[in-house]
Amino acid sequence: MTIIELILISFGLSADAFSVSLCKGLKMGKFNLRHALITGGFFGFFQALMPVIGWLLGMQFISYIEKYDHIIAFVLLAFIGVKMIIDAIKDKDKEEGSAKLDIKELFVMAIATSIDALAVGITLSFESDLNIFFEAAVIGLITFSVCVAGVFIGNRFGAKFKSKAAIIGGAVLILLGVKILIEGILAL
């Protein structure tokens, strides 16, 4: 995987967390940097943790699924991408979040928005030449940065970017899935 692909995956995965962060910022009266950093920290941590867990699970079953890894990766990424796009279109006006920083709510939202990163971690187990901890750190740092920015943007400009970010993130994941599928077919 190239660094460009990793960055694209990271931004794609962070789209859901960005949307939630926008809503957090939208409902925040005066911008609070501490709350933005805590929000980014929660989302970044779980977006980094889940690919490692998925990678570990994938490594346990790699010998059974090696012949079909490109198809599995495509199906998982396409499913996640399509789901993100459908959810963004369906829930355009739905508000998530509150003015108060609720740690329990952040914990649940961070896990919920990082489930797709678990599936991506499984697909990363098919790559032989990667350092999962580096990949996870990049995903976590980009998600952290995107979420802090999301709280700020939501606070300043409102939620007009929320659905667009999720649609773009979903499209990126679908395109990466197609690329993996094509590479897998050509390698046969």
Structural domain boundaries of the chain? 3-187
pLDDT of 96:
45
pLDDT of residue 91: 66
Supply the pLDDT for residue 23: 74
Q: Among candidates 44, 36, 187, 24, which has minimal Cα distance to 110? A: 44
Residue type present at position 16: D
pLDDT at 161: 64
Q: Give me the pLDDT at residue 152, please.
A: 92
Mean pLDDT by 10 residues, the chain (188 residues): 90 86 78 93 96 90 73 79 79 52 82 83 81 95 96 76 71 79 81
Q: Are 72 and 181 in contact (CB under 8 A)?
A: no
How far apart CA 120 and CA 123 sit, in angstroms, is 5
Rounded Cα distance, 55 and 126, in Å: 9
Give residue 28's pLDDT: 77
Structure confidence at residue 97 (pLDDT)? 43
Tokens of 51: 């690919």
Distances (CA, A) of 94 to 13, 43, 88: 20, 20, 9
